[in-house]
Amino acid sequence: MIDIHSHILWNVDDGPKTKEETLQILEQAVLEGITEIISTSHSNHPQYHANYKHVQNKLHILQYDLIQQNIPLTLHSGHEVRLSDSIIPQYRSNRLHTLANSNYLLLELPSYTVPHYTKMIIRELLSEGVTPIIAHPERNKAIAERPELLEALIREGALAQVTAGSLAGHFGRAIQRLSLDLVKANLVHTYGSDVHNLSSRPFYFDKGLLYLEKRKQLDAVDMLLENNSRIIRNKPMILQEPEKIERAKWWQILRYSKAE
């Protein structure tokens, strides 16, 4: 299995602080059944920006260590790119990592809003031959309240990635429920752990898939994992027509989050 969203590089963002922590995370990835993982350190985030070459260098070091220790895991480069009006010039000047050197780019929205210029950025990326994949839309407050905002971005040509921890209930029951609704409505297309550490932000890779299986979403599981593989191979994804879902109520999410 392939994990397309992870924060595994040490001392570059809010992921692990030491190389030892990184190696522990990678060992756990193997136990989760993950065979390939895309490193997506933050780029353009208000607090973090992992340098392009810094990412490459650390991944080379880690892959060498994995080979020496006979750990069966293949690493790929990537960035989780925060939405900004500088994305296009950064991409053109080779300062942003796409996912595994493919034509897919992991795009992070602000936590509370879907800015008015989001569609413009999506169109500009598509004109460059790059398909944006919106990271964890289920954790965006505006989308949680108005899922039609995500539907509009999907119809514009973007794709979306649901997080394992969201499906596993790590962020509360309301976000878990919304994640399932997005899956059922064909509004998410790929699956990632968004792992940061092994304590507060672990993989939950198996647990999230198991949740979908228990909800009889076996076709969705197959689709999400196949699309992850297609990113690595830089192939077109399996897509289905998005459906409308009922508007969520953010006050419920706040209530359930506090209860947890």
Tens of pLDDT along 130-181?
999 999 999 999 999 999 999 999 999 999 999 999 999 999 999 999 999 9
Q: Could you give the angle at which helices 173-184 and 250-259 cross, rounded to 10 degrees?
A: 130
Tokens matching residue 19? 């190389």
- DSSP structure string for 69-133: TT---EEE--EEEEP-TTHHHHHHTT-S--GGGSSEEEEEPPSS---TTHHHHHHHHHHTT-EEE
144-164 burial: b if 16+ Cβ within 10 Å, else e: bbebebbbebbeeebbbbbbb
pLDDT for position 48: 87
pLDDT for position 250: 52
What stretches in the chain show pLDDT beneath 50?
251, 255-260
All structural domains of the chain: 2-259 (3.20.20.140)
Look-up: residue for tokens 């809010």?
14
Q: Could you give the angle at which helices 205-214 and 173-184 cross, rounded to 10 degrees?
A: 70
pLDDT for position 243: 84
pLDDT for position 248: 62
Per DSSP, 204 falls in state -
Q: Is 141 exposed, middle or buried (0-12, 13-18, 19+ CB in 10 A)?
A: middle
**131-135 and 190-192 beta bridge pairing:** unpaired
Tokens matching residue 148? 């039609």
